[in-house]
């Protein structure tokens, strides 16, 4: 119903009211934070059915975690595992349905309304999977688990839109951390600066870049001639990749600064990604919390299954397959239309090629020789440029219908 | 055989390096080749050598060799 | 940028913040349209 983005008046008001409320009512801050979070959640619902779906989507995993844990403790054999796996499968299926992926034919037949789509749907999923997967561990190390804390973790309005993806343990430990220094004037100024600088990145820098990217995309989709098309594509991809960086990292600055004013620390999501010298390094510096989530919950389980099974004697091939699958899934997740499938394929392909190259170079130069080779300045610059060019080219499928342009090109 | 000695053999095999010597505080930062791939290779090799199974979260939470040994002992009932 | 800011004297920091605020408000009231990426996913 309500428009909730960092640019909305609603969010700006919350940004300043929340720290005051939470700090004045320090004794009740858990409850106060929950009230704010639930209010935001309710105001963002698009319809009444969405309320029911949202409530189920959030509450079921909490109680399932308890149930699965009990099943694992009390029943021996494969039954708990079957229960567990079918629960995750069901989660993913419901998620895919709610996202309404355009390229899955089944969803064209099933009834669907946009009104059931929740704000931050996939970020809910990430957090819920983290909580349910770690539940046993959390109990073991005696992390505080209550429904209220769980709801604050899932609904945290600072991160509900687009992350960063915290872990339950991390969120609760930080929320109840009493060793934090008192807020000083310097810190307040620092946080204000972080918020405003974030807004500047989003509404000035990325806004301008977006106009330029849009301009060159327009020229690209109406232009002709191979070389002018190529030049237009390069310019478009160039501006678009920087637009993505400034837009997303600006958003992260705003919410991190805001949360810090309220006494919460959000993990850093960006570390100068465009200085990366390889695709793997890029993903370790861009949207870091997502990369780590994917590493822990997709890459590791997939590669474990592969190298203890079909790829037992072919570990390198197993690694390539796992990387490809991981990046394909990560790409597909980013959006609902076919462009994102292409984006995922490109990411997967790129990562496999770069892994093959690294292993080939290591064989040729030796481990030490390769390290020395990579440390050379010109090599670093070249690898940085190549990484950046590849990322920009694949990012061009994010937000723009580049597939459509290519298809139209073939028609002519 | 002592868990640590047996684990050391597994480490040497996975990292293809006979000079590796384990200490409880050793983490991924201390071994050059210990990344997310070799971490899983280690887990799979340990599962085979010690005939036990680790869950996704256990794999994720393993940070140093000392914890590794403790977990193995618990799984194999050696503790 | 962040580190430089923290080292400046307080009056300069305040001036910097008001400048930033002015630019951001100007941009928003001028009607810059840019959506937050990844949102709604």
The set of chains that have 3 or more CB pairs under 8 A with C is: A
Of B40, B47, B48, the CB nearest to A300: B40
Q: How many residues does chain A have?
A: 412
pLDDT top residue among A80 and A151: A151
Neighbours of C33 (CB within 10 A): 10
Any chain A CB within 8 A of the CB of B19?
A: no
Contacts of A300 in chain B (CB under 8 A): 36, 39-40, 56, 59-60
Interchain proximity A319–B47, CB inside 8 Å: no
What's the confidence (pLDDT) of residue C40? 45
pTM of this structure: 0.88
Let me know if chains C and A touch, i.e. at least 3 Cβ pairs under 8 angstroms.
Answer: yes
Q: What one-character DSSP code corresponds to residue A297?
A: I
- Find which of B15, B57, B58, B74 to mutate to test the A interface (most A CBs within 10 Å of its CB): B57
Of C2, C10, C34, the CB nearest to A203: C34
C-alpha span between B53 and A315 (Å, rounded): 19
Q: Residue B71: which CATH number?
A: 1.10.1200.10
Tokens coding B32: 């050059």
Contacts of C10 in chain A (CB under 8 A): 185, 189
Domain that holds residue B10: 3-76
What's the confidence (pLDDT) of residue C37? 62
Contacts of C3 in chain A (CB under 8 A): none
Domain count for chain B, please give it. 1
Question: Using one digit for the tens of pLDDT, what is the confidence trace for A296-355?
Answer: 899 988 988 888 888 887 888 888 888 889 988 888 888 778 888 888 889 889 988 988
Tokens coding A229: 């098309």
Any chain A CB within 8 A of the CB of C23?
A: yes
Any chain A CB within 8 A of the CB of B56?
A: yes
Task: Give the mean pLDDT of A199-217.
Answer: 89
Any chain A CB within 8 A of the CB of C31?
A: no
C-alpha span between A278 and A283 (Å, rounded): 9
Question: In chain C, what are the domain boundaries?
Answer: 1-41
Question: Using one digit for the tens of pLDDT, what is the confidence trace for A48-62?
Answer: 888 898 899 999 999
Question: Using one digit for the tens of pLDDT, what is the confidence trace for A224-266?
Answer: 788 888 888 889 999 999 998 999 899 999 999 999 999 899 9
Neighbours of A197 (CB within 10 A): 21
Average pLDDT, chain A: 87
Please state at what angle helix A338-375 crosses helix A402-411, rounded to 10 degrees: 110
Q: How many residues does chain C have?
A: 41
Question: To 10 degrees, the CA torsion angle through A38, A40, A41, A43?
Answer: 120
Task: Give the mean pLDDT of A140-169.
Answer: 90
């Amino acid at each position: 119903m309500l428009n909730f983005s960092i640019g909305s008046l609603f969010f700006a008001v919350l940004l300043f009211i929340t720290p005051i409320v939470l700090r004045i009512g320090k004794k009740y801050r858990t409850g106060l934070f929950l009230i704010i979070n639930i209010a935001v959640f309710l105001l963002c619902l698009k319809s009444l059915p969405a309320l029911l779906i949202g409530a189920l989507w959030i509450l079921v995993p909490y109680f399932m975690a308890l149930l699965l844990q009990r099943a694992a403790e009390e029943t021996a054999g494969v039954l708990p595992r079957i229960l567990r796996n079918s629960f995750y499968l069901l989660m993913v299926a419901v998620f895919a349905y709610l996202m309404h992926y355009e390229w899955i034919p089944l969803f064209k037949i099933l009834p669907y309304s946009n009104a059931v789509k929740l704000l931050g749907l996939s970020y809910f999923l990430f957090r819920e999977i983290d909580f349910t997967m770690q539940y046993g561990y959390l109990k073991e190390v005696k992390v505080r688990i209550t429904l209220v804390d769980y709801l604050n973790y899932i609904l945290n309005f600072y991160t509900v839109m687009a992350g960063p993806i915290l872990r339950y343990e991390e969120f609760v430990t930080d929320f109840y951390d009493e060793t934090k220094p008192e807020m000083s004037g310097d810190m307040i100024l620092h946080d204000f600066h972080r918020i405003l600088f974030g807004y500047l990145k989003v509404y000035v820098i990325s806004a301008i870049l977006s106009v330029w990217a849009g301009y060159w995309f327009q020229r690209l989709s109406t232009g002709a001639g191979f070389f002018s098309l190529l030049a237009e594509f390069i310019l478009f991809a160039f501006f678009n990749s920087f637009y993505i960086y400034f837009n997303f990292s600006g958003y992260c600055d705003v919410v991190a600064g805001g949360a810090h004013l309220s006494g919460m620390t959000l993990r850093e999501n960006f570390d100068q990604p465009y200085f990366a010298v390889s695709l793997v390094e890029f993903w370790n510096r861009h949207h870091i919390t997502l990369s780590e989530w994917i590493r822990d919950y997709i890459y590791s389980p997939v590669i474990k299954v592969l190298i203890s099974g079909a790829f037992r004697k072919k570990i390198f091939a197993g690694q390539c397959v796992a990387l490809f699958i991981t990046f394909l899934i990560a790409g597909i997740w980013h959006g609902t239309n076919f462009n994102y499938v292409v984006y995922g394929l490109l990411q997967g392909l790129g990562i496999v090629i770069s892994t093959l190259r690294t292993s080939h170079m290591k064989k040729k130069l030796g481990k030490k020789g390769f390290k020395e080779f990579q440390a050379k300045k010109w090599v670093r610059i070249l690898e940085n440029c190549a990484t950046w060019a590849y990322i920009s080219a694949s990012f061009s499928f994010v937000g723009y219908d580049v597939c459509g342009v290519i298809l139209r090109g073939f028609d002519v | 055989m002592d868990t640590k000695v047996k684990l050391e053999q597994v480490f040497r095999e996975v990292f293809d390096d006979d000079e590796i010597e384990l200490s409880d505080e050793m983490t991924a930062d201390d071994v050059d080749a210990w990344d997310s791939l070799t971490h899983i290779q280690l887990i799979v090799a340990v599962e085979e050598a010690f005939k036990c199974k680790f869950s996704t979260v256990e794999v994720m939470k393993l940070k140093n060799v000392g914890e590794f040994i403790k977990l193995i002992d618990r799984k194999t009932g050696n503790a | 940028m962040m580190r430089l800011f923290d080292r400046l004297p307080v009056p300069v920091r305040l001036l910097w913040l008001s400048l930033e605020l002015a630019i951001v408000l100007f941009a928003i009231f001028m009607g810059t349209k840019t959506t937050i990426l990844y949102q709604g996913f």
